[in-house]
Each structure stands twice: as C-alpha cells, then as structure tokens.
Amino acid sequence: MKTIITAGGSGFLRKPLNTYFTKKGYLVKTLTRNPKQTNDTYWNRKDLGGWTKSLENVLILINLVGKSVDCRYTENNKKQFMIQEYIQH
C-alpha cells in the first residue's frame, strides 16, 4: 500500500488531509508528540528513535510542523508564520 506521512499533522489540517488521501487509496500515518489514533507514531524532533523506521518505504512526507494556522490572523501571528517559514529555509 502507498503510504503518506504527515509530520505534525495532528491539528487543524489532519482530518481533511487524511480523508482526501484515504479516498485516493493511500495509508496515512502521522508523526506527533501526542499519539491518540491507530496510525499515530510518537515523534519529537530532538531524538532519532523508533519513528525513523516509519519513514521507510514512504511515498510522501508532508511537513506540517510549526505555528498552527487555526488561529486569528493578528499581526503577531502573521509575524510568527513568517519566522517559521524563514527558519525552515
């Protein structure tokens, strides 16, 4: 089965992404600090651990780590989005 992993995908975008890709025939797994569902794997960005095995034979990795987009778009939040984007580049 084709597998997609979302890193940090336990928030606002989880359900629509999982629904979309599952309907397309993909198995969707999530790397998260708070595993709650069957396809969740514990992950923290500081330690290489068992979660690295879940990356083997993965077709796509979607990185959703960072500031949640499920918030008010205040000037402060906009700045935090820009900082997150800048740091990742």
Which residue type sits at 20? Y
Question: What is the pLDDT at residue 81?
Answer: 66
Q: Which residue has the higher pLDDT, 32 or 66?
A: 32
The tokens for 18 are: 């999982």
Rounded CA separation 36/78 (Å):
29
Share of the chain above pLDDT 90, in %: 9
- Residue labelled with tokens 């959703």: 64
Question: What is the pLDDT at residue 67?
Answer: 64
For the chain, the domains span 3-88
Q: Which residue has the higher pLDDT, 42 or 62?
A: 62
